[in-house]
A and B are shown apart, each in its own frame.
Chain A
Amino acid sequence: MAGALALDQHAFDTSPDPVGETVLARTRAISDGALRAKAHAIDEGHYPLEIMRDFARVGALSAHLKSAGGNFGLAIDAMRAGARQCGSTGFLMWCHGVFGLYLDHSENCGLADRMLPPHAAGETFGGTALSNPMKSFAGIEPMALKAGRVPGGYRVTGTLPWVSHIGRGQYCGAIAQVVDASGAPSHEIMFVLRCDEPVELRQCPVFSGMEGTSTWGLRLADVRIDDADLIADPAKPFIAKIRAAFILLQLGMGLGVTEGAIDSMLEVESVLGHVNQYLDNRPDEIAGELDELAGRVAKLAETPFETSTDYLIDVLDARAQASELSLRSTQSALLHQGARGYLMSAAPQRRVREAHFVAIVTPAIKHLRSEMTRLSKVAQPAGALT
């Protein structure tokens, strides 16, 4: 497999592939082969950079970038193919993909010129630390990182509890609140945080899933960030621009985990179908819902930078539905498989935990619902009773 891929590694750059069929076929070949075989090891803590490198080589991690035609639908489908076999890897694909998105839309062209080609090619790796800032912008929690201006850059201090797809030699996109000398906040900056000295990487407690995603606590004590590493200053308008695309890309995880759950249900249909017929959420029902959702997502993926409120609500609605569908389908898959799916090495029980992650990773279902409520409200003149 690896050898065959090595031969193919430049093919996607040169051969025309307008609808991404080749990218998708190759991504599926990796997912259904090497990734499927490693899914349990990844669940136990193996960080599958070798798989990520293969994905990058076939174009699975860069389909949404301008250089590949900005095909968000293909990027989501590729992520879905990965998540179908391993939710953790689907999440890594998203982490890697959104970092690419940041650079691709940064006005700091020098930064993108330096970092984006090796990132897209899977020569370097990095993720995203935007969970806290996204929640902070929604008024859910305070900003964890604070920055102070110094000549030629900023100095940043604070702690981020869990950031995935990082390690020594890797990097992530992060946001800090800039405070002036008196401690008053002025605005936010977004930057590439290089996870080398003096940034401290701290072991996280053991989670019930996602152990193979190289997730670390980050502690920054007065770490210098050069202006050359700024993705956006100020950060807020930039986040407003990429927010829908950021969330939309996550759909690949929920769709893939659900598709994997359907696989597990069908796997036992010939032997257990006579009793499984009494279960709720049978594979054909779930497949119907999945197809309907995937169709809407494909449509939304055609205009990932649309700025209307209606569009954003549609994206949040699809994201929430993907979470709910993941929860329901993986639960059902475990019930369909019974004891064999409950083995620690079995995919159904692992997928139940993966679905929990899909439902709680920012934006969690509750955040999505609260945000859709906020976006649906009509403003009233000040001083009004609500």
Chain B
Amino acid sequence: MNAGTAIPAVIEPTDGLGPWRRYICRVCGLIYDEAEGDVDSGIAPGTRFDDIPDDWECPICNVTKADFDPLVPRAAVSAPQAATPVSRTSGVVIVGAGTAGWGAAEAIRALDPATPITVVTACSGDVYYKPELSVALTRGATPSSLRRETGAQAAARLGVRLMKETVAVGLSPASGTLRTTRGTVRFSDLVLAQGARSAAPACLPAHLCWRVNDLAAWSGLHAALSCGPQRVAIVGAGMVGCELAEDLAGAGHDVTLIGIEELPLLAMLPRPAAERLAAGFSKIGVRFLGGRAVGKVERIDERLRLTLASGETVEADQIVAATGLATEPRLARSGGLAFDRGIVVDPKTMRTSAEHVYALGDCVTIGGAPCRFVEPIRGQAEAIANAILKRDHSGYAHRAPVIRLKTRSTPVVIEGAPSTAGEWRVLQDDADALVMEQWAGGARVARLAA
């Protein structure tokens, strides 16, 4: 609202009602500034909004005074900055900035300093070591001590463009485009490193139960536990559930671990090992409730109540859902990629069913099964980097990673590939150690030490 030819002198309010205020039209966003008035409509500079006649109209969109709100400036939102100027050449685009995403960026950069790389991630892109999350509370870690590097620092170090807090929503392999919530990105090669999400059932709703699958979620739980010892119920006695149970107990919390099997980790461990684990838990004060399914969770005042299928109830201040992970199929399916509990990849090249689209880490299935461990990621990233840069490379060779259960009360190490059909033989079982081997088809397939 400009007075046209004459530039009005700035007038100061003298009516004792405080400084001039501004009002915004809800409809078109025009701002009425009391200092300036609306000279074109005959409203003199220095006219209080309240004093404008009721039949006055917004000079842009003709709505009335009633459609104006006091202008309350919002905090400026700064768009996440790209670490390097946007490259105009389409290059490699990586979806996800966890261990797999940054691992792929590092592998490509190690081979070629020039290939443009863009990392698109829904999170902040901060770098941390994920296995640390299940032992961090006992060690007194904090979100900042777990953060090795911010996303921006990693992006600068690797010379990549980081699009943080950006969700990849759609994929068209044929046109080489990835649609995101901050615009469409073109790629010559795409690497999916989107990870997996909690597969907690509906009876463990996300607004009541923690899912500790990334640093952001861990930070939330850490903050919630910061006011002193609490009662924590962990649902799911797989690897993550068992590790978190010990970690929480070690940090002084009162822990109840609830599992569907009668012993912890029985789906993976032979009975003598699971018994040893259960005994270890009991020694450090973790209450294990085996053979229980969860019925529902409800908030009652400040507490949470878990009702088990058996009718028993467990009261807790915090509940953690550790019931396994699943790959989100939406993005892969939007691009027509083969999907079978994870993104199906060629076990040697890590290429998906589409040309120029690769995947690694928690989001893939190799030979019909996901393999959600950190160890294979480095080899997968190297194979992808070599394939993208068309270098001679023997490719990725998948083998079962060594599994180390980070439970200090009963550390468990499994080498090889335990199968559900094999027969476990005890080599040693005394106060010092339990050593077992699994045999299947006349061959030793796995070895366990606890």
Known: A161-B61, A205-B62, A321-B170. A314 touches B334 (CB 8 A): yes
Known: A289-B175, A385-B223. A369 touches B26 (CB 8 A): no
Stretch at the interface among B179-187, B241-249, B355-363: B179-187
Within 8 A of A (CB), among B69-103: 69
Contact across chains for B220 and A380 when beta carbons are under 8 A apart = yes
Point out the residues of chain A lying under 8 angstroms from B209, CB to CB: 381
Point out the residues of chain A lying under 8 angstroms from B61, CB to CB: 161-162, 204-205, 217
Known: A288-B174, A321-B170. A382 touches B179 (CB 8 A): no
Contact size range, B: 35 or more
CB distance from B114 to the nearest CB of A (A): 23
A285 to B172: give the CA distance in the assembly, Å: 13
Which of A159, A321, A381, A385 meets B318, CB within 8 Å?
A: A381
Please, what's the 1-or-0 string for A301-337, where 1 marks a CB less than 8 Å from any CB in chain B? 0000000001001101110110010000000000000
Which of B60, B210, B219, B330 meets A381, CB within 8 Å?
A: B210
Point out the residues of chain A lying under 8 angstroms from B157, CB to CB: none
Please, what's the 1-or-0 string for B47-83, where 1 marks a CB less than 8 Å from any CB in chain A? 0000000000000111110110100000000000000
Known: A369-B182, A372-B181. A380 touches B122 (CB 8 A): no
Point out the residues of chain A lying under 8 angstroms from B217, CB to CB: 378, 380
CB distance from B320 to the nearest CB of A (A): 10
Please, what's the 1-or-0 string for A366-382, where 1 marks a CB less than 8 Å from any CB in chain B? 00011011001011111
Point out the residues of chain A lying under 8 angstroms from B198, CB to CB: 378
B220 — nearest CB in chain A belongs to which residue?
A384
Contact across chains for B170 and A381 when beta carbons are under 8 A apart = no
Contact across chains for A159 and B64 when beta carbons are under 8 A apart = yes
CB distance from B326 to the nearest CB of A (A): 12
CB distance from B91 to the nearest CB of A (A): 18
Interface presence of B141 (CB below 8 A): no
Contact across chains for B26 and A381 when beta carbons are under 8 A apart = no
Interface presence of A202 (CB below 8 A): yes
Interface presence of B445 (CB below 8 A): no
A314 to B332: give the CA distance in the assembly, Å: 12
Which of A203, A292, A381 meets B224, CB within 8 Å?
A: A381
A296 to B182: give the CA distance in the assembly, Å: 21
Interface presence of A383 (CB below 8 A): yes
Which of A141, A289, A313, A379 meets B172, CB within 8 Å?
A: A289
Number of A-B contacts (CB under 8 A): 103
Interface presence of B434 (CB below 8 A): no
Interface presence of B27 (CB below 8 A): yes
Contact across chains for B174 and A372 when beta carbons are under 8 A apart = no
Interface of B is mostly: mixed
Interface presence of A142 (CB below 8 A): yes
Which of B67, B167, B216, B223 meets A372, CB within 8 Å?
A: B167
Point out the residues of chain B lying under 8 angstroms from A369, CB to CB: 181-182
Interface presence of B447 (CB below 8 A): no
A124 to B305: give the CA distance in the assembly, Å: 57
Contact across chains for B66 and A161 when beta carbons are under 8 A apart = no
Contact across chains for A385 and B219 when beta carbons are under 8 A apart = yes
Contact across chains for B122 and A376 when beta carbons are under 8 A apart = yes
Max chain B Cβ within 10 angstroms of own Cβ: one of A204, A288, A321, A386:
A321
Contact across chains for A384 and B66 when beta carbons are under 8 A apart = no
Point out the residues of chain A lying under 8 angstroms from B62, CB to CB: 161, 202-205, 217
Query: What are 30 A-B pairs with beta-carbon distances under 8 A?
Result: A141-B26, A144-B26, A144-B27, A144-B67, A159-B63, A161-B27, A161-B62, A203-B62, A204-B61, A285-B175, A289-B177, A310-B330, A313-B169, A314-B330, A314-B334, A317-B169, A318-B170, A321-B170, A324-B184, A370-B181, A373-B165, A373-B181, A378-B197, A378-B211, A379-B205, A380-B206, A380-B220, A381-B207, A381-B208, A384-B220
Closest 4 CB pairs of A and B: A384-B220, A379-B206, A369-B181, A161-B27
Given A314-B334, A376-B169: 4 more A-B contacts, CB < 8 Å: A317-B170, A321-B179, A378-B211, A380-B210
